[in-house]
């Protein structure tokens, strides 16, 4: 009898290892003869190192060496910052005395113990020449410098003009305009940045906390001028990432260069303060959005402008205006993004990179317009529902957004809502409810995988992807066991090694559809090889059968519709005297080729989506939030949170639910607690520890409901699945802001929503 594991809410297969402590993260790998490296970051945001005396530090017991810009190895400059999978910043470490952001690494101490390394850090004597620092806030307040236009590859997708904005304004019966601000915020994973580099002759093995092992190999190859095949990168588990570990950052290069220079294994890990300088963050952004509708609630125009901060050396921006172009049917639309060059570290992708920021502005404006026009917030969204892509007219592969609205409204009790602010009170508490749309583009990349069947019936799958806490090992194991019809107890999957078949960055919610489909294809190819064995084996009950008449069932092959005609995998391999049999498989999304897969192998992510040749592909959802606000101190608390999502076939409901509620919690933190404060006098970050930077904790996160619409989308993959890792984050902050307005009558245009903004 056929059994289906897909759609089953299995617990994590690696869960026991994690909860018992036997799982090993990159900083925990046991290596003999290990030395320890610690970094010194600059305490100014702009200037140069005037003097750096390391003589006393070098003489301390246990110190192997001290690196500064004066003696650090010269690195190869052919590094790539886009697309994903290369370096986080092309400002390579310790190549000159110039300082362009606070925390920029200016020295590295290597010693035989952490204690010796700390002593050496204290013995360094450093003097700076300080220059004025350009900050994002001061740039916004002045006319100089001017915002910088984006490179063509970004500007072409983010700067759009459709229809006639002036005509749309003239046709509007109701208009709103808002100036929205979001601060820099940080991923703050539990696992800090960490690298162990182990030299072996002219080869190098690197254990790195990364979302992209092939990307790290690529970056190190370019920086260290080493052949790709001489570098192996391993990451067994990643303790949270959220975008910070998509790239190769300077600390990894320093560890690898130090290991090669001294020919010793080196462990280097950041401290929490260095995580606020050394591994990217969500850039601060200023958005201006205008929106209008006619008397029936149909949108007549939408204009969305955004400017964010980037570093002096790189342009990395969250594409905030992108969703304004596609989410609703708007005849007259204009979008534009630009950047300010500032003395800051380079920002990077963070969970729902531009979507969470852009939807805060867009969905807040729609809520404001709905209230002004006297239309229910869900109804105004339905009246402007985009049945096809607003720019191309092409259909969506699937679009369950309408169903998300309706199911969410039913489960949340939206129909009983009084639209008037201040309409619900309980003692000193004001209650309010708000909602928003959610959308995230479906990303895909070419991938390959390997599957091996052993003589005892055990199955092993391998791919150079990463387990970053999202449950990828579990889902890939399910796909493998389901396709081969083998017991879960005999099916295993390995990830996190560049010696395995090539896979892309674990970012952009692409893992299940991309790697999963390659595994599915590899398993099908293995079934074909086994079928060839069976039909050619005179001792097999399936001898002489047509290959396409066979299928995998119950740990073996059988004739379709004839359970009595079967042969087990164990017997097949035993009679053939094979210890194992393997097969490869690949996934080529939307007419890609081997050339695109070669890009994945080289360590640069080839991203495809959300636009296919004849359809557009995205994940959709709706967020519903209830808040209460204390009328005396204006403290805001989220009391209910519900999300409904249309994300294709749900391969593992338990993993998907975990991702959804985690994404919603992420969005609540964005809305209520997280903010980076910069000293405008010198460009230094004030909130650089968990004592000052407040990530959401259990006390402020309510019980969260997450539901999924039944949907199957075969357009991009026979699995019918889409990504779920980021959709929960996208609209949550807007829903919180809309609920706060409903409770208080006060529209907040800047995050986080704090008491002083409500008084």
Beta-strand pair 678-679/684-685: antiparallel
Q: What is the distance in angstroms between the CA of the first residue and the CA of the last residue of the chain?
A: 65
Read off the pLDDT of residues 357-393 as tens digits, 9 standing for 90 and up. Answer: 999 999 999 999 999 999 999 999 999 999 999 999 9
Q: How far apart are CA 665 and CA 523, in angstroms?
A: 36
Domain 148-185+281-442+612-758: which CATH number of 3.30.365.10, 3.30.70.890, 1.10.287.130, 2.60.40.10: 3.30.365.10
Burial 365-377 (b: 16+ CB within 10 A, else e): bbbbbbbebebbb
Q: Which residues contact 215 (CB under 8 A, 6 or more apart)?
A: 84, 85, 86, 246, 247, 248, 505, 603, 604, 605
The pLDDT of residue 590 is 84
Helices (H), 263-346: 275-278, 322-326
pTM, 2 dp: 0.96
The pLDDT of residue 85 is 61
The pLDDT of residue 83 is 61
Low-confidence ranges of the chain (pLDDT < 50): 1
Residues 253, 254, 259: CA angle, nearest 5 degrees: 100
Closest CA to 137 of 285, 347, 318, 348: 285
Q: Which residues contact 564 (CB under 8 A, 6 or more apart)?
A: none
The pLDDT of residue 82 is 64
Assigned fold of 15-21+445-602: Aldehyde Oxidoreductase; domain 4 (3.30.365)
- Helices 511-536 and 472-484: angle between axes, nearest 10 degrees: 30
Q: Where exactly are the structural domains of the chain?
A: 15-21+445-602, 31-132+192-240+245-271, 148-185+281-442+612-758
**Is there a contact between 749 and 181 (Cβ–Cβ < 8 Å)?**
yes
Beta-strand pair 266-269/333-341: unpaired
Structure tokens at 299: 């949108």
The pLDDT of residue 217 is 97
The pLDDT of residue 1 is 40
> Would you say the CATH fold of 148-185+281-442+612-758 matches that of 31-132+192-240+245-271?
no
Read off the pLDDT of residues 105-155 as tens digits, 9 standing for 90 and up. Answer: 999 999 999 999 999 999 999 999 999 999 999 999 987 778 998 887 778
How many residues are listed for the chain in this entry? 759
**In the CATH hierarchy, which top-level class contains the domain 31-132+192-240+245-271?**
alpha beta
């Amino acid at each position: 009898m056929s059994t289906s594991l897909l759609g089953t809410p299995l617990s994590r297969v690696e869960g026991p290892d994690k909860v018992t402590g036997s799982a090993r993260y990159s900083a925990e790998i046991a290596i003999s003869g290990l030395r320890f490296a610690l970094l010194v970051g600059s305490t100014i945001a702009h200037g140069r190192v005037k003097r750096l005396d390391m003589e006393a530090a070098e003489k301390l017991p246990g110190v192997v060496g001290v690196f500064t810009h004066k003696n650090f190895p010269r690195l190869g400059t052919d590094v790539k910052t886009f697309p994903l999978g290369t370096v986080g910043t092309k400002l390579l470490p310790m190549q000159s005395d110039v300082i362009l952001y606070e925390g920029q690494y200016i020295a590295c101490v290597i010693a035989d113990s952490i204690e010796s390394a700390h002593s050496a850090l204290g013995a360094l004597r450093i003097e700076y020449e300080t220059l004025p620092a350009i900050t994002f806030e001061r740039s916004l307040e002045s006319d100089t410098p001017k915002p910088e236009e984006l490179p063509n590859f970004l500007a072409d997708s983010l700067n759009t003009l459709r229809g006639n904005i002036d005509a749309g304004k003239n046709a509007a019966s109701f208009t709103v305009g808002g100036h929205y601000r979001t601060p820099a915020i940080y991923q703050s994973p539990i696992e800090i940045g960490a690298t162990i580099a182990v030299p072996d002759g002219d080869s190098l093995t690197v254990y790195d906390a990364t979302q992209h092992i092939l990307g790290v190999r690529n970056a190190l190859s370019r920086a260290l001028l080493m052949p790709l095949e001489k570098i192996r990168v391993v990451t067994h588990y990643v303790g949270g990432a959220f975008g910070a570990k998509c790239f190769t950052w300077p600390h990894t290069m320093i560890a690898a260069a130090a290991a090669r220079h001294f020919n010793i294994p080196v462990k280097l890990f950041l401290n929490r303060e260095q995580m606020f300088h050394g591994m990217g963050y969500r850039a601060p952004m200023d958005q201006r959005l205008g929106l209008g509708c006619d008397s029936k609630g149909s949108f007549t125009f939408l204009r969305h402008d955004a400017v964010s901060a980037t570093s002096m050396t790189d342009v990395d921006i969250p594409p905030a205006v992108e969703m304004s172009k596609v989410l609703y049917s708007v005849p007259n639309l204009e979008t534009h993004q630009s950047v300010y060059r500032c003395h800051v570290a380079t920002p990077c992708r963070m969970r729902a990179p531009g979507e969470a920021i852009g939807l805060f502005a867009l969905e807040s404006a729609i809520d404001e317009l709905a209230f002004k026009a006297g239309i229910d917030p869900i109804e105004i969204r339905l009246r402007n529902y985009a049945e096809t892509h607003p720019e191309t007219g092409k259909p969506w592969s699937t679009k369950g957004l309408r169903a998300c609205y309706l199911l969410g409204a039913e489960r949340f009790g939206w129909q009983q809502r009084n639209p008037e602010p201040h309409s619900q009170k309980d003692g000193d508490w004001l209650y309010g409810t708000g909602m928003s749309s959610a959308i995230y583009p479906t990303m895909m990349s070419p991938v390959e995988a390997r599957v091996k069947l052993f003589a005892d019936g055990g199955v092993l799958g391998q791919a150079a992807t990463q387990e970053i806490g999202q449950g990828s090992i579990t889902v890939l194991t399910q796909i493998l066991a389901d396709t081969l019809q083998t017991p879960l107890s005999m099916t295993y999957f390995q990830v996190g090694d560049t010696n395995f078949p090539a896979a892309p960055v674990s970012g952009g919610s692409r893992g299940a559809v991309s790697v999963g489909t390659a595994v599915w294809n590899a398993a099908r190819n293995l079934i074909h090889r086994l079928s060839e064995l069976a039909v050619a084996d005179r001792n097999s009950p399936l001898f002489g059968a047509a290959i396409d008449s066979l299928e995998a069932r119950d740990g073996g092959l059988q004739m379709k519709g004839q359970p009595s005609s079967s042969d087990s995998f164990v017997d097949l391999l035993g009679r053939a005297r094979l210890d194992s049999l393997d097969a490869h498989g690949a996934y080529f999304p939307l007419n890609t080729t081997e050339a695109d897969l070669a890009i994945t192998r080289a360590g640069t992510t080839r991203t495809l989506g959300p636009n296919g040749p004849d359809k557009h592909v995205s994940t959709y959802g709706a967020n519903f939030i209830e808040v209460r606000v204390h009328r005396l101190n204006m403290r805001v608390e989220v009391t209910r949170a519900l999300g409904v999502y249309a994300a294709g076939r749900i391969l593992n409901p338990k993993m998907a639910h975990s991702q959804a509620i985690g994404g919603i919690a992420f969005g609540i933190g964005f809305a209520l607690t997280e903010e980076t404060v910069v000293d405008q006098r010198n460009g230094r970050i004030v909130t650089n520890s968990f004592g000052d930077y407040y990530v959401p904790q259990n006390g402020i996160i309510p019980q969260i409901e997450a539901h999924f619409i039944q949907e199957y989308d075969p357009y991009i993959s026979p699995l019918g699945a889409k990504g779920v890792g980021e959709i929960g984050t996208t609209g949550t902050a807007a829903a919180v802001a809309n609920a706060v307005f409903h409770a208080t009558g006060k529209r907040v245009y800047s995050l986080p929503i704090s008491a002083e903004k409500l008084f």
